[in-house]
Structure 1
Amino acid sequence: MVSSAGFPDFTRVVSKTIHAVVNVKNFSKKYSNQFDPFDFFFGFPDDFGNNRERKPQRNDIPGLHGSGVILSPDGYIVTNNHVIKDAEKIEITLNDQRTYKAKLIGTDPSTDIALLKINEKNLPFIYFSDSNKVQVGEWVLAIGNPFDLNSTVTAGIISAKNRSLGILRGETQSSIESFFQTDAAVNPGNSGGALINTNGELIGINTAISSASGNFIGYSFAAPSNLVAKVIQDIKKYGTVQRAYLGVKGIDLSKTEYLKVYNQETHQNIKSQQGFLIGEVFEKSGADDAGLKKGDIIKSIDGKPIQNIADLSFIVGTKHPGDKIRVIIIRNKQKKIFNVILKDLQGRKKIRTKEEITPSELLGAVFDPLSKESKKDLGIDYGIKIKEIRTGRLSAIGLEEGDIILSINGIKMKNPNDVNKVLKKYSGDVTIKSIKENGQVYIAGFEMN
């Protein structure tokens, strides 16, 4: 539809979708003056590379707010993980000003996506669209709550696809970044809000802005709907994201500076071109089983060109363990085709049911018994230490590697198996008492489904 002035008329599509975008408020009592990777988009470091000083903030006022999108009439809501991170309570405000306490269903720091749920029926919602069909140059609308200004709508076009920005690497080593870039105005508070097409369909979740001032100056970035939908479906069905891995690392050939260093170190003369140069194949991975080798250049997967690392991470990121992909590579100037069966990080080739996933895995952590020395130093005779933390409930509430869990729901943790004993088949509120590495006692909770 075109207005009398010759510009698109978005009134119909806005009226169709605006009531499905909500305000998300994060109530947290966690003190923090740590650098957040998303500060990169809400204020760059100064010219000397130093991060501007931030005073510790107590976020129980609340201190954080963002946006969310209702995905179903029964109250499922998608937002960004960084919007609800460390939350003790999450409050949802609808467009008509009704407020609800939200339940955290699951998170995925690898894509910066979180799934919430409110207890309501017959809610307005937005359908997912196929983000693979989105074209550079098409009109889009961003709907959210910048600066806590509810139901703000801005318009722009898709400026680029498959942008990899590096903002999630501080959250997880298995980050998946393949953003839409748009010039629709997005500001702090828009995070987690909707990026929609002119049919009123959800094509992305607004995630970040690129700005030296902390406010919009021309570019914003959104996670594509196909990736978001896969994450949400996994969380709802399995309780966690069932992520597949190809099992390679290497060099994005669109990054000429990396390629130059690689050529110097290996005494090769690989030309800058589209594709992904394999620098290492992980043993017993799907790539290893199929016969991919160091030095191969991945040109396409399932018929889709691989132009950069964002293309590779997006395609594999939408797959499950056990899925088969067709990989075309260049080896010694010859094209070769491989059929690769993807695996998870533990080498499994199949999706696991909810019953097969332990509570420890849902929490996203590996635990060690607490050493006698640590017990003596702390003056306690119980506790377990977080040895490794991944995507899961503990990272979502602010726990980190090295933290010591004292109790879960008031039950003392004396060895790692106690976690599974307490939470196996448990449903309801979970309260975790822990000691941070700085000695601070930290109490936080979530709801177990």
Structure 2
Amino acid sequence: MNSLLPLGTRLPFDGLDQPLELTRLLGGGTQGQVYAVRCGAEELALKWYFPSCIARDPLLRQRLQQSIRLGAPNGDFLWPMALLEPSGESRPLIRCQEPGFGYLMPLRPSGFQGAHLHAGGRMEISLQNILRACFHLADAFHELHLKGLCYKDISLGNLFLRPGDGAILICDNDNVAIDGQGAGSVLGTPGFMAPEVLLGAAKPSASTDQFSLAVLLFRLLTRHDPFRGRQELAIRCLDEPARRRLYGEEALFIFDPENPANRPDPEEHAAALLTWPIYPRSLQQLFETSFGAGLRQPGMRPLTGQWKQVLARCLDQRRLCQHCGEELFHSGPCWSCGHTNPAVLQLQLPRGQVAACPDNDLYPHHFDGRDSERLDQPLAQLVGHPTDPSVVGLRNLGATAWQGQLSNGQMLEVEPGKTCNVAALQQLSTQAGPITPIRR
């Protein structure tokens, strides 16, 4: 790939006090190229546009300025920080007749991988961390929509995952616009676009974002397309007319509860049949609504807050199969080995229950109805005993001591950073609220 900007040089740009050092070319696409740059001691990323992209999208500069002024919805976005134009002395070094402009954004940290790797089965990541990534996605777009913005191009290609904890980063935020303005040339990615956008009946909006988000969540959780079932097998070439039928005119969810005509084929679509039963009915029902009534009625699509709530509760009920060790998210036989597991000890909290399984967490939203579901800053964590896996403890991650009572009547105090045996507890009083172990 030929670089538009001269690598290894220090280029001055209007609006910056010091030149940028271009260290390496990170990649490119139809819009432009992305570089790793150094500004003083800080490492950042620079996206530089092709003149053809600027010509196709005359409102691009205005959208970027608007996004920079509004600021990032939260830390999950690689958000534009500054609009840059070449200074007089740097213009001759840029390898195109019309140098144009670009923007600075945070540099993607190491450890994040393209979500397409997971969708293709080429990423090692736990089910718990995929669910966490889905929650972070719903939360990120919740915050974006609260700012009155729409993303327009939600897809696997614009998402990075960190397998170790499910953290996410969303890129290509130069397509973001004020909801309802319909500005820009980007309509979305085939297979993710809402039917009304695909069929030319509507422009991208927060409502079409909701549909695209549901597709992305389904792709992450099942590694399969929600509309590619038996009907796909009759398509010889997925050209534009075929795509309009599959995803628009004749779209039918592969797990539609009332119409089985597009069920996954056991040989061609095995991943969908394997993964769908993993998740509880509450999560399945959101997909059924998104791709059922929500397919033709945008007002019926689940909102980001609903996804957050259901995904958080799904994580609360995570446990491990005692026979094969796979992660489970509801009662019943194990989806992997069919083994029936005994009832799981539950922690009764002021707002819900959490299964007493190692690596599950307790958060402020479990105690206070004023707190929205969040997965950062847990108050407590369930941990396994280092030598006896049958013993589960609850670790105090807060700043104050807990007071509790054991089932034998003995009183105990759990200092910050310390752990108590969950099974032996009768009740525990924390600063957030009471914790009572119960069996189901």
The TM-score, its normalising length taken from structure 2, stands at 0.28
Larger Cα-atom Rg: 2
Higher RCO (CA < 8 A, seq sep 6+): 1
- TM-score, normalised relative to structure 1: 0.28
More helix by share: 2
